[in-house]
Amino acid sequence: MHAWPASEVPALPGKGRDLRIHDTATGELVTLDPGPVARIYVCGITPYDATHMGHAATYNAFDLVQRVWLDTKRQVHYVQNVTDVDDPLLERATRDGKDWVALAESETALFREDMTALRLLPPRHYIGAVEAIPGIVPLVERLRDLGAAYELEGDTYFSVESDAHFGEVSGLDAAAMKLLSAERGGDPERPGKKNPLDPMLWMAAREGEPSWDGGSLGRGRPGWHIECVAIALDHLGMGFDVQGGGSDLAFPHHEMGASHAQALTGEYPFAKAYVHAGMVALNGAKMSKSKGNLVFVSKLRRDGVDAAAIRLALLAHHYRADWEWTDSVLTEAVERLGRWRAAVSRPDGPPAEALVEELREALANDLDAPSALAAVDRWAARQAAEGGTDEGAPGVVSRAVDALLGVAL
C-alpha cells in the first residue's frame, strides 16, 4: 500500500540526545541504543471507522520517538500495518450493508489524510494484512512443523507454551490474561484448545466470509497477531528497536506477537523495547470504535480546526497517561497555537539556543511533551512581555518546534 506524504523535518543546530523510554516488558525506563538506522514497528488501524483522538494520540507518541532519533542524525526505518481484514471490519461492513473492501479502502484513505494534516511522519513500508497473506502462510506452516502450532476443527492455533518467554511482555498472570484474551479478540472458552490463551494463527474459511489460499493450511484468513509478525519480520527482522501501540495492545497482541516470532526464529527478543501509549477517553470511557464515543480528527478539521492545534492538544498530555478529551483541551491548544504564532512572527526575540536544548532534554526523557510545551510557553511569554534582540531566534524556535514536535507555526 502507499503511505502518505512526509512533511519535511528541519535539521537543527547541535546534536540530539539518546532516547530514554518506558519499556513495558521490564517496567523500566531504558536508554535505547539503535544503530545508524533505528527500526520501529507501530501497529496500524483496523479501518472500519475514522481516525479518532485516541488513535491520533498513539501515533503522535511514536512520531515523537522518530523525531528524537532523526535529531540524533539517525535514519529511521518505520513500518506500519493496516488490519484490512479482521472480524470487527467484516462485522461493521455487514451491519452497514457495505462491501468490506470498499469500507477498508475509504477509511484507510481518510486515515492517510488525517496523518498528513497532523504532520505525522509516514512509514517507509505501509502494509495491509491482505497483501501480507502470501508471507503469513509459510510462517504458520513453519510453526506447525516446529510443533508450535496445532489444528483444531480446521483452524490453526499457536501454542503459547512453545515460547519460554511467553508472558514477559505484559507481565500479567494467567487469570488476567484470560480475562483480557476474551475481551480482545481471543476465544479462551473454545473447547479443545491446549491452553485457553492459545491464539488463532489461521482461521479456516467460514461461510459468507472472504478467504484465501492457505497452502497446506487450507483456505482461510490470518489471525491478528501473526499478521504484524509477518510484516515486521519481513521488513525489519528480529531484534528491532521499538514495537509500539496503545496500552490495550500489550496483551494479547504484542505478547502473542513476540512469542510467535521467538518460536519461529529461535531468537530473542522480537523487539528490544515494547512501548505503549495511554488510552484517551471521552465522557469517562475509553474512546473506541466499538462503543462509538468518538471525536474524529476529520470532523474537527471539517469544522475548521487547525490540525496544528489538534496536535498541540495531543502533545499537552504525556503519552503514557490515560486522559480525557474535552472541549477545553482543544480551546487551550488553539490559544497556545495563537500565542506561539504571534511570538515567532517577529524577526528577533529572546535567545533560542537554551530552548532548543530544553526541548531535546524533555523529549529524550520518556517523551515528556508537556514539559516541552511549557518551555516554548516560557519563551513565547518572554517574547510577548519584553521581546529580545537575538536576530533570527524566532526562526530557530519555529524550526525546532517543527522538527521535534511536528507543529508548523
What is the contact surface with Zn ion in residues (CB under 5 A)? Answer: 43, 228
Contact predicate 190/176, CB 8 Å? no
For the CB of residue 55, give the shortest distance to ligand 5CA in the complex, in Å.
4
Q: Pick from 139, 217, 273, 287: which binds ligand 5CA (CB under 6 A)? A: 287
Give the contacts of 71 (CB within 8 A, at least 6 positions apart): 12, 15, 16, 17, 360, 403, 404
- In the list ligand 5CA, Zn ion, none, the entry touching 314 (Cβ below 5 to 8 angstroms by class) is none
Cα distance between residue 249 and residue 253, in whole Å: 5
Contact predicate 80/126, CB 8 Å? yes
What is the number of other CB atoms lying within 10 angstroms of the CB of residue 10?
14
Q: Which residue has the cell 479502502?
A: 105
Closer residue to Zn ion, CB minimum distance, 81 or 162: 81
Q: Pick from 104, 249, 314, 400: which binds ligand 5CA (CB under 6 A)? A: 249
CA distances from 351 to 383, 392, 393, 405 (A): 10, 9, 6, 19
Stretch that binds ligand 5CA, among 167-175, 240-248, 259-267, 298-306 (CB under 6 A): 240-248
Closer residue to ligand 5CA, CB minimum distance, 287 or 375: 287
* Cis amide bond preceding 199, omega within 30: no
Cα distance between residue 52 and residue 312, in whole Å: 15
Closer residue to ligand 5CA, CB minimum distance, 289 or 399: 289
* Count of residues engaged in binding ligand 5CA, rule: CB under 6 A: 21
Give the contacts of 48 (CB within 8 A, at least 6 positions apart): 88, 89, 92, 93, 103, 104, 107, 289
Stretch that binds ligand 5CA, among 7-15, 42-50, 99-107, 159-167 (CB under 6 A): 42-50
Tell me if 58 contacts ligand 5CA by CB under 6 A: yes
For the CB of residue 225, give the shortest distance to ligand 5CA in the complex, in Å.
8
Q: Pick from 12, 19, 43, 233: which binds ligand 5CA (CB under 6 A)? A: 43
Tell me if 228 contacts ligand 5CA by CB under 6 A: yes
Q: Pick from 245, 349, 394, 406: which binds ligand 5CA (CB under 6 A)? A: 245
Give the contacts of 17 (CB within 8 A, at least 6 positions apart): 68, 71, 72, 360, 361, 364
Tell me if 130 contacts ligand 5CA by CB under 6 A: no
Tell me if 277 contacts ligand 5CA by CB under 6 A: yes
Residues that bind ligand 5CA (CB under 6 A): 43-46, 54-55, 57-58, 81, 83, 228, 245-246, 248-249, 277, 279-280, 286-288
